[in-house]
């Protein structure tokens, strides 16, 4: 086992091509033990292929990856004892009840009948699924299914957990529940590799970020470093009277606040957009508007979208390469040694 | 970007760590058999082929076609012919379901879960086969029960009866490998069924199951002679009725069983490995 503070995941020069599609094209990354690495990228960037390589579902064409001390190609069997995977699509048996799914996985992980039963109960309780324990998973809502999937991944207390776009397609409330669970797993010592398309998710969960595009790493670093690079947040102010948008922009410009430039009026949205980098700037802008007697109906701040991040890093829009699950089944299930 | 060095130890000692013992394999297969059985419980309609087919076929052939085939007053004789023949057919009809089952599994995310777990991949297949054999035995029991109601009687010994059941089940299990191979090769469960039916119909009806081959044109009679369902039906008939040659048709059926398994099983397992 790697020592505390070592890397739980080390990937060097990983390559996986499907015919002409260079899904993963020489990726290097590290995940320190007990931390969360966010892998941020648009659809088709190679995130899912990367996770499939690291979870022994695909054999890479070149490069090396060591997870929890096991080589993903040479020691897949041992590795499978130490990892958990929750994919974009819930990998539970929909015809089985939540409890039966967890019990089955416990037995497949060599727990005794008694332990498997106890663990299934425990995980259902923890993921607030006790009431739905006996219902078939097919009847679960999207959020419940995702929680069951997370619970299934946690049965074996994996040292390394892969979460492949864990909140894609979830409503905000369910998304928050999933986030809380992930944060709890990390507090309990799990190492997490998380792929996401959302800057907000990365900011919530990840300690460090790796941005990938077209199978290559295009930026990496701590979340705040990358955010600084991209330029902070956008403050959106909604006046009670939409007719005052332009006067508000004028007032902000006149005030000459430190570091505030480029407030713009969005007439369609009925808001004024102000790029800011600190909470102090937010307070200052609101104070100016309040001081001038503007009636405000709403204030919100927004993190830059993935598109804006990409624009800032590469000067280009996201590539939008073909999504990995557009590949044919045979490509996805390409050879893997047992 | 980090230099191309690894700080983690290269590999842990013992590259074979994680090899699964026999007990572990049996435990995994047990858990997966339970899964397949629970799926049936959740979706009872999937038992329609097992529960209804023997009933419908036996009624159809006894009352609708039986009189025409065997003569109006010879239905009792015809049932003695039909029931053992259908026992032979049952294995094939049930085996078909394993193809669509395997196909469906691969389309679901749960297969990914199994593939990232420390279990032998073959245990997923073996569990399926165990459950399908169970379904075959249920179908045979229903067939016999229905047969008894209509006057069928077992004239052979208990041992001969068991031999007939075992032979039918073994042949059905061999066919499962073909259907598994099919299930792994085509895209949808519906396609599996369609293709299976294409093979099933000529084999079922171009056999000695429903009508004596001597009543058929020469070319068809020739086909029934090489059709393994005919030899299986003949063997089951001789065993259950306690008359006629057993050894010859039984040996040919066993030969088919071994040959089909020997060819289809390695192909199916290789295909399965490649996909998983």
Q: pLDDT value at position A216?
A: 92
What local confidence, expressed as pLDDT, does residue A41 receive?
Answer: 87
Q: What is the pLDDT of residue B174?
A: 92
Q: Do B116 and A6 touch (CB under 8 A)?
A: no
Residue to substitute from B10, B102, B110, B131, interface A, most A β-carbons within 10 A: B110
Question: Which pLDDT belongs to residue B14?
Answer: 45
Indicate whether B235 pLDDT > 50.
yes
Q: How many CB atoms lie within 10 A of CB A184?
A: 11
Q: Looking at the predicted structure, is the pLDDT value of residue A167 above 90?
A: no
CA distance A167 to A151: 15
Q: What are phi and psi of A15, to 5 degrees?
A: -130, 130
Indicate the range of A60-74, A296-310, B32-46, B132-146 predicted with least confidence.
Answer: A296-310
Cβ within 8 Å, pair A96-B38: yes
The percent of residues above 90 in pLDDT, for chain A, comes to 40
Using the beta-carbon criterion (under 8 Å), do B11 and A87 form an inter-chain contact?
Answer: no
Q: Highest mean pLDDT range out of A80-84, A99-103, A315-319, B173-177?
A: A99-103
Position A314 scores a pLDDT of 65
Q: What is the mean pLDDT of residues A224-251?
A: 82
Contact criterion met (CB < 8 Å) for A338 and B121: yes
Tell whether B108 lies on the interface with A, counting CB pairs under 8 A.
yes
Asked if A117 and B154 touch (Cβ cutoff 8 Å), the reply is no
Percent of chain B having pLDDT more than 70? 93
Instruction: Spell out which residues of chain B touch residue A55, defining contact as CB-CB under 8 Å.
Output: 116
Q: Hey, which residues does A191 pair with through a beta bridge?
A: A160
What is the phi-psi region of residue B14: left when phi exceeds 0, alpha when psi lies from -120 to 50, beta otherwise? left
pLDDT of residue A131: 94
Q: With CB atoms and an 8 Å threshold, state whether B113 touches A91.
A: yes
Contacting residues for A300 by C-beta, under 8 A, at least 6 apart: A235, A236
Distance of residue B161 Cα from the nearest chain A Cα, in angstroms:
37
Minimum mean pLDDT range among A178-182, A326-330, B86-90, B200-204 = A326-330
Taking only the tens place, the pLDDT of each residue in A141-166 is: 888 888 899 999 989 889 999 999 98
Q: Could you read off the pLDDT of A198-218 as tens digits, one per residue?
A: 888 888 899 999 999 889 998
Residues B130-152 have a mean pLDDT of: 91
Domains annotated for chain A, with CATH where assigned, are 7-82+158-228+317-332 (3.40.50.300), 233-302 (3.30.70.100)
CB A151 within 8 A of CB A127: yes
Q: How many CB pairs under 8 A join A and B?
A: 132
Condensed to tens digits (0 to 9), the pLDDT of residues B3-58 reads 344 444 444 444 445 567 888 899 999 999 999 999 988 888 878 877 888 888 88
What pLDDT is attached to residue B95? Answer: 83
**Mind telling me how many Å the CA of B188 is from chain A's nearest CA?**
12
CB within 8 Å: B1 and A220: yes
B117 to A64: CB separation less than 8 angstroms, yes or no? no
pLDDT at residue A261 greater than cutoff 90: no
CB-closest option in A13, A55, A108 to B31: A108
- Tell me the average pLDDT across A288-302: 88
Mean pLDDT value across residues A123-137? 92
Please give the Cα distance from B40 to A4 (Å, whole number).
47
Asked if the Cβ–Cβ distance from A107 to B30 is below 8 Å, we say: yes
Give residue A67's Cα distance to chain centre: 19
Q: Collect all residues of chain A within an 8 Å Cβ-Cβ radius of residue B116.
A: 55-57, 80, 83-85
Segment of A169-173, B91-95, B264-268 carrying the highest mean pLDDT: B264-268
* Residue A217: predicted pLDDT: 92
Residue B223 has a CB neighbour count (10 Å cut-off) of 17
Segment (H or E) for A63: strand A62-67
Mean pLDDT of B206-214: 80
Burial (CB < 10 A; 0-12, 13-18, 19+), residue B20, is middle
Nearest to B180 by CA among B80, B251, B105: B105
Q: Which two tokens stand for residue B72?
A: 């109006």
Taking CB atoms and an 8 Å limit, are A93 and B110 in contact across chains?
A: yes
Burial class (CB in 10 A: 0-12, 13-18, 19+), B30: middle
Predicted pLDDT at B1: 39
Instruction: Tell me the average pLDDT of chain B.
Output: 83
- A96: chain B residues, CB-CB within 8 Å: 35, 38-39, 42
A77 to B38: CB separation less than 8 angstroms, yes or no: no
Are the C-beta atoms of residues A189 and A34 closer than 8 Å to each other?
yes
Best to test chain B binding among A2, A77, A162, A163 (most B CBs inside 10 Å): A77
Query: Contact B112/A57, CB-based, under 8 Å?
Result: yes
Q: Rank B163-167, B188-192, B201-205 by mean pLDDT and report only the highest.
A: B163-167
CB contact residues (below 8 A), chain B span 169-188, against chain A: 187
Give pLDDT tens digits for B51-97: 888 888 888 888 887 777 777 777 778 888 889 988 888 888 888 88
DSSP one-letter string for A150-215: HHHHHTT--SEEEEESTTTT--HHHHHHHHHHHHHHHHTT-EEEEEES-HHHHHHH-SEEEEEETT
pLDDT at A315: 61
In the prediction, which pLDDT does B18 show? 57
Q: Domain ranges in chain B?
A: 23-275
Contact state of B116 with A136 under an 8 Å Cβ cutoff: no
Residues found in chain B? 276
Q: What is the pLDDT of residue A330?
A: 38
Residues of chain B found within 8 Å of residue A80, distances taken between Cβ atoms: 18, 116-118
Of residues B118, B180, B183, the one with CA closest to residue A338? B118
């Amino acid at each position: 086992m790697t020592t505390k503070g070592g890397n739980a995941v080390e990937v060097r020069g990983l390559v996986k091509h499907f015919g002409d599609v260079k899904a993963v094209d020489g990726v290097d990354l590290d995940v320190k033990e007990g931390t969360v690495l966010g892998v941020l990228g648009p659809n088709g960037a190679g995130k899912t292929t990367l996770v499939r390589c690291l979870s022994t579902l695909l054999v890479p064409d070149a490069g090396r990856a060591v997870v929890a001390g096991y080589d993903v190609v040479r020691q897949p069997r041992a590795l499978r004892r130490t990892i958990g995977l929750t994919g974009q699509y819930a990998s539970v048996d929909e015809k089985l009840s939540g409890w039966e799914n967890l019990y089955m996985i416990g037995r497949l992980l060599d727990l005794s009948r008694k332990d498997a039963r106890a663990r299934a109960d425990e995980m259902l309780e923890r993921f607030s699924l006790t009431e739905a324990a006996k219902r078939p998973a097919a009847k679960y809502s999207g959020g419940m299914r995702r929680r069951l999937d997370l619970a299934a991944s946690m049965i074996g207390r994996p040292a390394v957990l892969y979460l492949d776009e864990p909140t894609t397609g979830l409503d905000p409330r369910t998304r928050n529940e999933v986030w809380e669970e992930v944060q709890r797993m990390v507090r309990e010592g799990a190492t997490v590799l998380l792929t996401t398309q959302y800057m907000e998710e990365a900011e919530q969960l990840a300690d460090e970020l790796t941005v990938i595009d077209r199978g290559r790493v295009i930026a990496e670093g701590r979340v705040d470093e990358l955010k600084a690079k991209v330029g902070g947040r956008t403050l959106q102010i909604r006046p009670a009277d939409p007719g005052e948008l332009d006067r508000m922009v004028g007032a902000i410009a006149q005030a000459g606040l430190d570091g505030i430039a480029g407030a713009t009026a969005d007439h369609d949205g009925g808001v004024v957009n102000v790029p800011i980098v600190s909470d102090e700037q937010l307070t200052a802008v609101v104070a100016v508007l309040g001081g001038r007697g503007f009636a405000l109906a709403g204030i919100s701040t927004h993190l830059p979208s993935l598109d804006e991040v990409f624009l800032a890093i590469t000067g280009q829009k996201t590539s939008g390469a073909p999504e990995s699950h557009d590949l044919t089944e045979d490509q996805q299930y390409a050879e893997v040694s047992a | 970007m980090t230099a191309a060095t690894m700080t983690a130890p290269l590999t842990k000692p013992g590259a074979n760590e994680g090899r699964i013992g026999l007990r572990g394999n049996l435990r995994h297969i047990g858990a997966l058999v339970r899964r397949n059985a629970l799926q049936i419980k959740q979706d009872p309609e999937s038992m329609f082929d097992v529960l209804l087919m023997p009933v419908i076929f036996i009624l159809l052939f006894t009352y609708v076609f039986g009189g025409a085939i065997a003569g109006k007053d010879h239905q009792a004789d015809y049932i003695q012919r039909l029931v053992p023949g259908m026992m032979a057919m049952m294995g094939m009809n049930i085996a078909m379901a394993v193809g669509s089952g395997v196909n469906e599994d691969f389309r679901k995310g749960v297969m990914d879960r199994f593939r990232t777990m420390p279990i032998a991949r073959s245990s997923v297949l073996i569990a399926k086969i165990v459950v399908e054999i169970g379904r075959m035995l249920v179908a045979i029991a229903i067939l016999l029960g229905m047969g008894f109601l209509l006057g069928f009687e077992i004239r052979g010994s208990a041992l001969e009866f068991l031999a007939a059941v075992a032979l039918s089940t073994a042949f059905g299990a061999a066919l499962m490998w073909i259907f598994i191979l099919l299930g792994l090769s085509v895209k949808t469960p519906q396609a599996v069924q369609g293709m299976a039916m294409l093979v099933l119909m000529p084999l079922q009806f171009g056999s000695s199951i429903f009508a004596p081959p001597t009543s058929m044109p020469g070319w068809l009679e020739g086909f029934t002679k090489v059709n393994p369902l005919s030899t299986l039906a003949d063997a089951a008939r001789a065993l259950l009725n306690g008359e006629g040659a057993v050894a010859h048709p039984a040996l040919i059926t066993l030969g088919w069983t071994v040959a089909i398994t020997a060819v289809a099983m390695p192909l199916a397992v290789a295909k399965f490995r490649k996909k998983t």
